Amino acid sequence: MPLSRRYFIKSAGLSLFGIGFVPSFLRRTAFAMGQPASSAQKKILVAIFQRGAADGLNIVVPYGEPDYYSLRPTIAVPRPSATMPEGGPGAGAAIDLDGFFGLHPKLAALKPLFDNRQLAIIHAAGSPDNTRSHFDAQDYMESATPGKKATEDGWLNRYLSADPAPRDETSPFRAVAFAPRMPRMLAGPAPALALDDLRAFHLPGGKGGALGGTVEAMYASTSDPLFARAAREMIEAATTLEHVGLENYQPSNGAEYPRGQLGRNLQQIAQLIKAGVGLEVAFAEVGGWDNHVNEGGVEGQLAGRLQEFGEALAAFHRDMGERMADICVLSMTEFGRTARENGNRGTDHGHASVMFALGGPVKGGKVYGRWPGLRPEQLNEGRDVALTSDFRDVFAEVLVRHLGARNTSPVFPGFAVSPARFRGFLR
């Protein structure tokens, strides 16, 4: 049976988006045994999508807001001054940040990063569109065109197209998503790669094995130039990763990634960064935030997700060490939850939530954004945290101040980017 392009791409354990496939990858990057070709350090963005609408009120707790406790009689996180149970300070209460906000106790791993000004928080952030549909809200956030369903590409892909890498520095690993399919955020004409696991990115049998040999022979004889180039680049990229030592990777500085999807993906992003393969934009996603029932407060479903989330971010920061000076990690979620708990000790679809920014360029140790309050007249539609930071302003600040984007007009169509609206969480 002839080997089709679809079968070939599936066999390598990844998907490709875009039409370039970037020829001569090994020769251009001068990659050798997992070491970068030069000492020049790229600026890198790691975007993390918390799919399912994470509850910003119980993640970064406004414990100084009396209405928070009246709205959530059974799932509120206690004030930091509350009596601590066994387990030490913070084990059963919010971890104080600034006298008004506190971290959920399961995010204790992030408190040292906040204190060291490596972690910034943007509260009451999200989309200006009021949809409560997960599908629509995620689409709007990833396309950065809230309220417009016809947008075909994602904002990160538009950035990659508007600020292309120099021709001799182009890499098929410039944009990588750790996801089962290409996320909307990276969809578009600029080449990007999506994969579930770096260890699946190989040709069964190796470059010289049965499938690898078949592919080599196929691209040498095919009359389809696009397929030939794709096959050639697949082999070169797979060969490159063989030198990285995927199976024997040891995180640096004693970092220990938690088990779970996010921990695994951040560890593999760290591997790519250390390998010097030209990574500029990485994407990871983690689900499980849609807590309509038994969300819990200090313990419960949300607490379980937060422990992995916090430990994964802290492990990545520790693993990258000094390299974090050039890395910004940005978290996002499609919308928040209702301010009032529901009858099932959970929360329903809301509006604004919270975003985290982590890394060397971050001016951390602060909760950014205007807090809207939780009194009935201050809530969005009388039920949700009101929006005070448009996610596009947050994205734009990262692109301009961290990645050095020169032209944001095509990245945010119909939206005028203004540094006057930047929150100032980046240097």
Q: What's the DSSP call for residue 351? A: S
Looking at 276-359, list the stretches that DSSP marks H as alpha helix, in order from N- to C-terminal side.
Answer: 301-320
pTM for the structure as a whole = 0.87
Q: Name beta bridge partners: 332.
A: 49
pLDDT digits (tens, 9 = 90+) for 38-82: 345 789 999 999 999 999 999 999 999 999 999 999 999 999 975
Is 254 a member of any domain? yes
Burial of 311 (0-12, 13-18, 19+ CB in 10 A): buried
How many helices (H) and strands (E) in the chain?
A: 12, 13
pLDDT at 147: 97
Q: Is 28 helix (H, G, I), strand (E, B) or coil?
A: helix
Helix axes 225-244, 210-221, angle to 10 degrees: 140
Q: What's the DSSP call for residue 300? A: S
Q: Which of 67-71, 82-86, 350-354 has the lowest mean pLDDT?
A: 82-86
Is 273 a member of any domain? yes
Q: Which of 85-99, 134-148, 174-188, 404-418 has the lowest mean pLDDT?
A: 85-99
Is 19 a member of any domain? yes
Question: Count of domains in the chain?
Answer: 1
pLDDT digits (tens, 9 = 90+) for 212-254: 455 555 555 656 665 665 566 566 666 666 666 667 889 999 9
Is 427 a member of any domain? no
User: pLDDT band at residue 22, thresholds of 50, 70 and 90?
Assistant: very low
Q: Which residues contact 208 (CB under 8 A, 6 or more apart)?
A: none
Buried b (16+ CB within 10 A) or exposed e, 318-338: bbbeebbebbbbbbbbbbbbb
- Give residue 187's domain range: 5-421
pLDDT digits (tens, 9 = 90+) for 203-213: 555 554 444 45
Is 426 a member of any domain? no
Burial of 39 (0-12, 13-18, 19+ CB in 10 A): exposed
Q: Are strands 44-50 and 14-17 parallel, antiparallel or unpaired?
A: unpaired
Torsion angle of alpha carbons 197, 198, 203, 207, nearest 10°?
-170
- Cα–Cα distances (Å) from 160 to 36, 331, 406, 408, in that order, read 21, 19, 11, 11
Is 387 a member of any domain? yes
State the average pLDDT over residues 31-38. 36
pLDDT at 247: 73
